[in-house]
Amino acid sequence: METLHAGISPTENRDRFEEAHDLIVKCWTEPGPFRREGRYFPHRMVNPWVRPIQKPHSSVWFPGTGSPESVIWAAKHQYPYMNLGSLLDLTKQLKGIYFETAQEVGFEPGPQHFGYLMRCLVADTDGKAQEIGRTFLWTEAHPNRGPIEFNDPPGYQSREALRIKMSRPLIGTGTMGKRMSYEDLHEVHNIVVGSPETVIEKLRFVRKELNPGYILIYGNEGNMAHEDVMRSIELLGTKVIPALKED
């Protein structure tokens, strides 16, 4: 929504992002002062005083939900792509695009170039976990996100990204596609909740399907009780993660 508030055309977002990226990388890797006359970010003098200790620069992870253009861009830059909770079938398709693009530009990707963020909660019993897990849909019941033209203005997404999203079930709080219920999301492993044994089994399935180098956990939402979230973190650390590492 910052796009319209700043008086910027949504159609410029991609070009602005890419130009900003190039400027940031230049600041990380080249001593100043230097001149940067960009289309969107013109600076007569840029003088970064401190550059990263890591060389050539700090690692970059690129997140996305379903835009193939983002996947291709990440692969061309050899940045690990982190999918933010799309359905497994779409995520597998995006991973395929990443690996194909990477090979086309001359590098061999591996699991370390792909990650998957998922909603996951562990409780002492499956029943307790299911009760708490429904809170992952809290945002849908309390959207408070303003008009759609603020969240998804015309031109913000490419035609291809819109085509993909319109052809698939809706898993978030957007406006396109068929909305999935909590039970649906649980069934397709988009929301993973349960006892440690159940979650271990479900995460093994996700790992087998995607072979991600990183499984990222989105572990709380809305008004989940603090003690339930802390118990989930404890069980993840003491039961779930050790079991997955032993595989």
Asked if 78 and 173 sit in the same domain, the reply is yes
**Pair type for strands 114-122 and 62-64:** unpaired
pLDDT of residue 243: 96
Query: Do 114 and 29 lie in a common domain?
Result: no
pLDDT at 174: 41
Asked if 40 and 156 sit in the same domain, the reply is: no
Quote the CA–CA distance of 53 and 67 in Å, as a whole number.
32
Residues 44 and 157 in one domain: no
Residues 64 and 87 in one domain: yes
The Cα 94–Cα 72 span in angstroms is 9
- Per-residue confidence (pLDDT) for residue 147, from 0 to 100: 66
Same domain? For 45 and 145 the reply is no
Instruction: Give me the number of domains the chain comprises.
Output: 2
Residue 206's domain comprises 60-246
Nearest-Å Rg of the Cα atoms of the chain is 20
Q: Are residues 138 and 24 in the same domain?
A: no
Structure tokens at 65: 């939900």
Flag residues of the chain having pLDDT under 50: 172-176
Residues 54, 64: one domain? no
Q: Of 12, 30, 58, at which residue does a domain stop?
A: 58
* Distance from C-alpha of 2 to C-alpha of 177, rounded to nearest angstrom: 25
Q: Identify the pLDDT of residue 176.
A: 46
Q: Which of 223, 222, 140, 135 is nearest to 174 (CA)?
A: 140
Domain boundary among 42, 58, 74: 58
Asked if residue 67 and residue 33 are part of one domain, the reply reads: no
Q: What is the pLDDT of residues 36-88, one digit of tens each?
A: 999 999 999 999 988 999 999 999 999 998 888 899 999 999 999 999 999 99
- Of 58, 88, 104, the one marking the end of a domain is 58
Residues 51 and 76 in one domain: no
The answer to whether residues 40 and 106 belong to one domain is no
pTM: 0.84
Provide the 3-class DSSP secondary structure of residue 35: strand
Residues 54 and 146 in one domain: no
